């Protein structure tokens, strides 16, 4: 079974998503939304090629993305699954945030 791991940036983004969601939508919706993100990352760990290769953003870097809810999961494929680079809101510029 393939797995996913999170970079420090992805962990921080998920904490920020949780905080914002709790304030805006309450505990129940936050739990459901974070579960959907976690389920999608698990799915992508098992099916990494289901994401979109992002050569449009990074010509020399094999990065993938998958849209889930209001966020995009950016990841790289490794031999045991995926490494989630970050989870960005759809309004965020990926080039700016992933290259930080």
Please report the pLDDT score of residue 91 as a whole number: 87
Note the pTM of the prediction, 2 decimals.
Answer: 0.90
Q: Which domain holds residue 84?
A: 3-98
- Measured CA to CA, the distance from residue 40 to residue 22 in angstroms comes to 20
Question: What is the average pLDDT across 18-31?
Answer: 97
Torsion of CA 15, 19, 21, 23, to 10 degrees: 180
Low-confidence winner among 2-11, 37-46, 58-67 (lowest mean pLDDT): 58-67
Q: How many domains does the structure of the chain reveal?
A: 1
- Helix, strand, coil shares of the chain, percent, nearest 5, are 45, 30, 25
CATH of the domain at 82: 3.30.2310.20
Q: Are 48 and 82 in contact (CB under 8 A)?
A: yes
């Amino acid at each position: 079974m393939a797995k996913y791991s999170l970079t420090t940036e992805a962990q921080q983004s998920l904490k920020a998503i949780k905080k914002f969601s709790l304030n805006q939508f309450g505990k129940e919706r936050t739990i459901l939304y974070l579960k959907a993100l976690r389920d999608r990352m698990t799915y992508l760990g098992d099916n990494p090629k289901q994401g979109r290769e992002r050569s449009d953003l990074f010509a020399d870097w094999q990065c993938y993305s998958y849209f889930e809810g209001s966020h995009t999961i950016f990841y790289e494929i490794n031999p045991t699954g995926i490494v989630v680079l970050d989870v960005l809101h759809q309004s965020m510029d990926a080039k700016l945030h992933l290259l930080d």
